[in-house]
Structure 1
């Protein structure tokens, strides 16, 4: 075939030339940013209840809180022995919450009110109900993460061991049986394990590691290694109905995977610092990610293209989408400066640590 200089013709490699991308049906620029007030110090973790009626948050002020998603008022407060590191809901309902605190205690809470009359009285008085944990479990190592199985039977708890006496164990994951309230199994690792999630079958645990891999471990002992990134994998999110997995790495890249086949289908390389948080929206239509650089990247999951860049003054500690609407909750890391790495001055007393980004529904 003659070259273009010799009178040849172009060969069409992409139909994007003929079919340009359509404009988004969502008006991102018209999105509303709301403040959620309650915590007096940094919020480290947040998550919507499965039914979307409540937003659970945990912070350095030694409390976990529940906010009603109709008016964003704090309705319940769960006092902890130290700052809350992580929290998660029981996926089978919206009445059970688990929290991890820096005092090395795993606590389980029943978020139901004692009675409608008591709830009404407290609301009329403008008070926040504080209650005690249903049960708790203490260990000797620092907690780093938590994940509840989709069937509600087991909670996985990650601990940073450092190095044991033999020098062979660095991190561990304890599987807590919710029915017996005891640790049923303990997984030990000679390398760093970061965030993890359960697969839809409740039998496989997917863990990010310092080796740039995602380890897929089954409760019966089988294992599979996904070689995902060129540097430490820090965070991941799963959307079972859509069959998607997202992984964020120290190499500043977010990878999107086809979950059934464990095959990478897209990557997002728009971040310039290590990725800290990833979260899928309803039906995995969008993927929000944040790094040590300020702001939030919202990508179209199927294409990886940028849908919207949400500006923010600093990095994020946690991201969570509402289960049924295009509403993103995010926790600001006020300890970080504008670059995401420098230490910032102590926040002002009126600082809002949690914000919401509410996108108008398509016309």
Structure 2
């Protein structure tokens, strides 16, 4: 795969020894559409025909390598420089020059969450099981976030120091964004629907299914608050 300065993406076949045979490849597919440099790309983990690109033009594009065309053009807020695709294919993480990681839901083809960091974010990736999310920083650290169950919602505290994630394991994990260490586990009665930190203090609001409510044709929910001492 060749990342070119003219905002194009070009796959180059390799032989069995993984040596690029520039003079022997049959067809040169050029993918055009980005309006700025393509800084990083990633292949879909299970669909070998799809790849995604991160560009300084503030978009993420998903390409069909077999059809040589763009399948989706997803706008983001920042100039993108790194990208990772979750192993299940349903989520793309893209990092910008402003140290904001945007999470793209590939089923909806849109950004569902923007997460700013207070340190320089360089590379990002998931492990093969999709349970760990890795961030490397400009200060020489590797930050690891554990995702053992499907995560439904994440939120950063107002000062960017804490990251809360709500998943289907009936626990809200709260981690230190600088060290990556877990600082609190908040047990809940049901799978989390959504979570959000207060904009000015360490007060976490979250909503989940109400297990004590009478059963009906639709799920019922409840809202709760959890506060850290200042």
Q: Normalized against structure 1, the TM-score is what?
A: 0.37
Aligned residue number for residue 93 of structure 1: 47
Work out whether 1:152 is the aligned partner of 2:78: no
Structure 1 residue runs of 5 or longer lacking an equivalent are 1-55, 114-130, 162-170, 228-363
Is the 1:57–1:87 Cα contact (8 Å) retained in structure 2? no
Work out whether 1:76 is the aligned partner of 2:29: yes
Q: Tell me by how many angstroms 1:184 deviates.
A: 2.4
Aligned length: 146
Is the 1:66–1:74 Cα contact (8 Å) retained in structure 2? no
1:32-181 matched pairs, under 5 angstroms: 56-70=1-15, 71-79=24-32, 80-113=34-67, 131-161=68-98, 171-181=99-109
Structure 2 residue runs of 5 or longer lacking an equivalent are 16-23, 152-164, 166-172, 182-230
1:126-275 matched pairs, under 5 angstroms: 131-161=68-98, 171-218=99-146, 220=151, 221=165, 222=173, 223=175, 225=179
- SS of the equivalent of 1:75 reads coil
Q: Tell me by how many angstroms 1:139 deviates.
A: 2.0
Q: Identify if the C-alpha distance between structure 1 residues 182 and 218 changes in structure 2 by more than 3 Å, giving closer, same or farther.
A: farther
Q: Tell me by how many angstroms 1:98 deviates.
A: 0.6
Q: Distance in 2 between matches of 1:195 and 1:226?
A: 15
Q: Tell me by how many angstroms 1:76 deviates.
A: 0.9
Q: Identify if the C-alpha distance between structure 1 residues 179 and 90 changes in structure 2 by more than 3 Å, giving closer, same or farther.
A: same
Q: Tell me by how many angstroms 1:141 deviates.
A: 1.4
Q: Distance in 2 between matches of 1:152 and 1:65?
A: 22
Structure number with greater Rg is: 1
Q: Distance in 2 between matches of 1:132 and 1:188?
A: 31
Is the 2:55–2:81 Cα contact (8 Å) retained in structure 1? no
Is the 1:213–1:226 Cα contact (8 Å) retained in structure 2? no
Q: Tell me by how many angstroms 1:74 deviates.
A: 4.5
Q: Normalized against structure 2, the TM-score is what?
A: 0.57
Is the 1:59–1:85 Cα contact (8 Å) retained in structure 2? no
Highest RCO, 1 vs 2 (Cα 8 Å, sep ≥ 6): 1
